[in-house]
A and B are shown apart, each in its own frame.
Chain A
């Protein structure tokens, strides 16, 4: 009995050690980034060949963070990205879930064809669409309230909406919601209809409240590309005050790169992603496990 206990605790300790090892390997880049953000350049490279690279030792300070705010309007970029990502996520959840709801629950002729066509867009890489999309958004009308008069001009370039609206509708989010909605019994809809509920009420009061894990996954999978958006804002935004955080990282790659500042900026823009993941991780994992997809 004692031997069995010993071997059980030994094997669980070994399993734990393996898990810790994997966790450490996954965490090393982030630890390195955060620790390096506190060191001067010379020390970062000096520590590189030893374990000191992962330890906050030596000449530690917040100088790199102070320098980041001098080199880049980091606060402005962060606020821009938070705003752009939040609106994209919230509107994305609403629009994509509505679309998936219609395709999953309503009897519409040709809905399989529509769903297939939506899924087909997943195979087209964004890079191939980027330039034509720039042309299109430049043809769209832009309404601006100037005092009491409404002014109309052409082109959405260099605005916030050009960074948001093209990314609200998302085939993968529709697919994810659709698959999740399919797992919710249709009898619930019928019961609600007997009680006099219309389609939007069923969507709002029956289906969406049960789709929490799918919503959490869609939120994260919409947030990440919105937060990491680089190519698109590069092409459509010219004014510094409208730029998102990812463009900011390029500010540091001058002829003489200051790696401490790069690490400090990278740490700053990683924190919101880590916080979001921690907040949603249970729902995220549940949804991934139940839908069988990975992000």
Chain B
């Protein structure tokens, strides 16, 4: 009896000692991350993404060692999927670091919430890809070192067998050509569904991937004149046409209502013939498929092909006690060699032509040059309004409902009602 209780207490003491010793060797920064003599903290979403994290750390190391460094930068990495939650809870407790990275479309929301301060950089960003510079109410709040682009991947041999031409940046497929291509690919009998649009995707993938189709039809997520209502653009005739077309792809058996969990892997395993995905999948696909791989632009559904613009970008928080150093670091990180290093490590599109010239695959004639052209020619920024996170969620729900069989008009009207109510309840998201 006594022995058992003593054992429990002993275990307790041992366990407490274990945690105590862990604490001794791994004490976190319990105080505010930005305090300290001349050290500022930078948060990034790259935990687990060794290549990108290493590239970022290399830039930080070289800045810290440079003669002109105004502060020592300390990097803390978080997993991407949970990064925003960590930032929001840190903001709630007043513990935001000096520099944060942000998914581009969220920048206006974070600026509106006063997490971010406008950037005042020495670096000239006027020649950067427009989608790598995030503005709200006339001020620049974040800059990215890279962007990504949506495209269609296919095997040239499959297209040839089906008698379908390869779409190009100059001559993308029209809506009718796309329909014809899918019909012919399906007739090959190689796949249950010839097209994989990543319909199992969730979260930001839904607006990022599918709102460009809506925009190509002539609709949009919100009326961009003042960003006060989605009525007439998200539930107008063009939007209904988009919804019917999108649902029709599934109804005609061209794509699954819910694709596999990993669309790229399914494409590589020949479970689909045409993959709608981002530039991040290109290197992996090229390594597996080789020269048979073709990268094509998205479809022109009426107003030209559209793709989502903006990826992860960097900003400075409004509570930073050494914002001059934070701005100085950001300017340093935008040097062409730094942009090129990150793009090379991550397989993304460098933010400037100068940086692209340092990378053979993105230089003119390079295998990935097409993504830069797609980004420059077709990128549409997701609505630059603090309401975007809410709009994205509502649109995502509508996409899933429409795929599941909901009446397009009803589903889109519901989204519009919710979005307009949200904007109204937040006083129009005025600064």
Contacts and interface: CB of A to CB of B under 8 A. Distances in A.
Interface of A: 41-42, 45-46, 70-72, 76, 79-80, 82-84, 86-87, 90-91, 93-94, 130-131, 134-135, 138, 142, 144, 153, 155-160, 164, 204-205, 208-209, 231, 234-242, 247, 250-257, 259
A87 B15 contact: yes
A241 B28 contact: yes
A205 B265 CA distance: 61
A279 to B, nearest CB: 14
Contacts of A255: 278, 280-281
A83 B18 contact: yes
25 contacts: A42-B265, A42-B268, A45-B269, A72-B48, A83-B18, A87-B12, A138-B94, A144-B30, A153-B31, A155-B31, A156-B30, A158-B28, A159-B30, A205-B5, A209-B4, A209-B5, A239-B26, A239-B76, A240-B77, A241-B26, A247-B82, A250-B80, A254-B48, A256-B281, A256-B284
Nearest to B265: A45
B204 to A, nearest CB: 12
Interface in B246-292: 260-262, 264-266, 268-269, 271, 278, 280-281, 284
Interface stretch (B84-92, B223-231, B362-370, B397-405): B84-92
A42 B12 CA distance: 46
Contacts of B94: 138
Nearest to B22: A83
B19 A251 contact: no
Nearest to B41: A238
B269 A93 contact: no
Interface string B2-28: 101100100110011011001101111
Contacts of B90: 238
Interface of B: 1-2, 4-5, 8, 11-12, 15-16, 18-19, 22-23, 25-31, 33, 43, 47-50, 76-82, 85-86, 89-90, 92-95, 260-262, 264-266, 268-269, 271, 278, 280-281, 284
A90 B264 contact: no
A80 B27 CA distance: 12
Given A45-B262, A160-B23, A238 B29 contact: yes
A251 B22 contact: no
Q: Across chains A and B, which 3 residue pairs bring their CB atoms closest together, nearest first?
A: A251-B48, A250-B79, A239-B28
B1 A93 contact: no
B86 A235 contact: yes
Contacts of A254: 48-49, 80
A56 B77 CA distance: 35
Contact of A234 (B25, B86, B260, B266): B86
Contact of B22 (A80, A155, A156, A257): A80
Contacts of B89: 130-131, 134, 234-236
A235 B49 contact: no
Given A71-B48, A237-B28, A252-B48, 9 more contacts: A41-B262, A45-B265, A155-B30, A156-B30, A158-B30, A205-B5, A235-B86, A250-B82, A259-B265
A253 B79 contact: yes
Nearest to A93: B8
Contacts of B78: 238
Contact of B269 (A42, A70, A71, A208): A42
Contacts of A138: 93-95
Nearest to A162: B30
A81 B33 CA distance: 24
A6 to B, nearest CB: 48
Nearest to B90: A238
A239 B29 contact: yes
B80 A253 contact: yes
A237 B29 CA distance: 9
Given A157-B95, A254-B48, A90 B79 contact: no
Contact of A159 (B4, B15, B28): B28
Contact of B93 (A155, A160, A209): A155
A138 B268 CA distance: 49
Contacts of A131: 89, 92
B76 A208 contact: no
A168 to B, nearest CB: 11
B29 A71 contact: no
B32 to A, nearest CB: 8
A152 to B, nearest CB: 11
B86 A90 contact: no
B85 A251 contact: no
B30 A157 contact: yes
A80 B4 CA distance: 26
Contacts of A72: 48
A264 to B, nearest CB: 13
Nearest to A232: B89
Nearest to A204: B5
B85 A234 contact: yes
A134 B2 contact: no
Given A158-B28, A159-B28, A253 B81 contact: yes
Nearest to B1: A209
A153 B29 CA distance: 11
Contacts of B268: 42
Contacts of B266: 45
* Interface-central residue, A90, A156, A209, A238, by most chain B CB under 10 Å: A238
B12 A142 contact: no
B260 A87 contact: no
A228 to B, nearest CB: 14
Contacts of A158: 28-30
